[in-house]
Structure 1
Amino acid sequence: MYDCGGWTVIQRNSYDTDITWSETWTAYQHGFGNIELDHYLGNRFINLLTAQKLNMVRFVLADSENRTWHADYDSIYLTNQTDKFRLRLGTYEGDAGDAMSSATYKNLHDNMRFSTFDDDNDRLYNTNCANEHGGGWWFDSCYDAHLNNRGRLHWKALCDHNCRSSLILIRPVHMYCNRV
């Protein structure tokens, strides 16, 4: 699933993780967890990585039966803190379904600002999606994908809050090669 290599793991989450994922804006900005286990790299660092050159992103998901699926986007950019770490994704390709940018679903995570329980940037007026559903994420109103959550990993086209694990990986586009 990693094909030619060169990937940087920006998020890893297991269904039975010790991490609650209900962290503050500051924690999501700087990152938390164990880089060799479940972790979030930090929006500040993801912004710096994606600002250096054109990157692609791969979401790797293990469904409830532990089968592996992926959703690739041919570009990713995370804006800086001033713009609340807005997520910008390119074109989807993969076998997991497009739960991040497809107009087929209710929530578009592409072009959304990041929200946490203490910094609400979703599009709902009277609801804080991060506070209501846990974890920080690029909430719309509220989500069709939510991977920064404890024991309730969700990817609309694949898992109804029962994915076993998730990985979010990025790498420079120039390192593209054939998929396995």
Structure 2
Amino acid sequence: IPYMRDCDEMFQTGHTESGLYITRPDNTRKLVVQCYMDGCNGWTVIQRNSFDTEIIWSETWTTYKYGFGNLEDDHWLGNEYISLITRQKWYKVRINLVDANGNHKYAEYDSFILRNESQGYELNLGAYEGNAGDPLTSSRTKNFHDNMKFSCKDHDLDRSTSINCADVHGGGWWYDSCFDAQLNRKGGIHWGTLCDENCRESVIMLKPIHMYCSRV
């Protein structure tokens, strides 16, 4: 059976309903993912979190590597699989946020690359667009999450010289020292230009950069 490599390939082959699909990214096993089909393209969801989530988020390196949670609800797809997905094409990322007042906002970056484990699952982002503000790459923020390695409670790769940011604040993330944005936390979804640890929801999803909507 020729499995598709991501949700956009699923969409292009006629699967236009959002939901769970079996994919097979290059160089890995079959992978169940949540797909969001927007009527033009298919987005591969790599994270979903809600303010009242049951997920603790304060997990180990290995747990973050292979993913956890409920794929139909709050979850982390897994750094290893995210990295493999982003190495097969040129992807962009969209981060959908719901602020404390229920307003829907978004941030997009026109490139999203997650390096491999030997490189600490380093995050590389492109140019920002959106209405949620840019706490990941903007020079106006204190902490610069772009080009940071991933840290969690048992694997400290942040740039703080005094604390383990993941251990102190909870949740794995691309910490600097420590954060202006952190979406992988229980009861504290933070996007510094929009929410002060009180966002109601976050969703992170990927699609190939060359795919555009062709509807009239």
TM-score, with normalisation over the residues of structure 2? 0.80
Counterpart contact for 1:9–1:170, Cα < 8 Å:
yes
What root-mean-square deviation, in Å, do the aligned CA atoms of Structure 1 and Structure 2 show?
1.3
Q: What is the CA-CA distance between 1:52 and the residue it aligns to?
A: 0.2
Are 1:73 and 2:109 an aligned pair? yes
Q: 1:58 aligns with which of 66, 91, 94?
A: 94
How many aligned positions are there? Answer: 178
Are 1:158 and 2:200 an aligned pair? no
Are 1:100 and 2:136 an aligned pair? yes
Counterpart contact for 1:57–1:169, Cα < 8 Å:
yes
2:181 paired residue number:
145
Gaps of 5+ in 2: 1-35
The one-letter amino acid of 1:30's match is Y
Q: What is the CA-CA distance between 1:63 and the residue it aligns to?
A: 0.1
Q: What is the CA-CA distance between 1:3 and the residue it aligns to?
A: 6.2
Counterpart contact for 1:25–1:116, Cα < 8 Å:
yes
Three-state SS of the structure 2 residue aligned to 1:82 is helix
Q: Deviations over 1:70-90 (max 9, x none)?
A: 000000000000001000000
Counterpart contact for 1:6–1:175, Cα < 8 Å:
no
Three-state SS of the structure 1 residue aligned to 2:207 is strand
1:48 paired residue number:
84
2:13 paired residue number:
none
Counterpart contact for 1:24–1:117, Cα < 8 Å:
yes
Q: What is the CA-CA distance between 1:6 and the residue it aligns to?
A: 1.0
TM-score, with normalisation over the residues of structure 1? 0.96
Q: What is the CA-CA distance between 1:125 and the residue it aligns to?
A: 1.3
Gaps of 5+ in 1: none
Q: Deviations over 1:6-44 (max 9, x none)?
A: 100000001000000000000000000010000000000
Q: Structure 1: which 4+ aligned runs deviate by more than 6 Å?
A: none
Counterpart contact for 1:11–1:41, Cα < 8 Å:
yes
Counterpart contact for 1:60–1:69, Cα < 8 Å:
yes
Q: For residues 119 and 176 of structure 2, what CA distance do their matches in structure 1 show?
A: 15
The one-letter amino acid of 1:79's match is R
Q: For residues 213 and 106 of structure 2, what CA distance do their matches in structure 1 show?
A: 16
Three-state SS of the structure 2 residue aligned to 1:7 is strand
Counterpart contact for 1:86–1:113, Cα < 8 Å:
yes
Q: What is the CA-CA distance between 1:177 and the residue it aligns to?
A: 3.3
User: Higher Cα Rg: structure 1 or 2?
Assistant: 2
Are 1:22 and 2:54 an aligned pair? no
Are 1:131 and 2:147 an aligned pair? no
2:204 paired residue number:
168
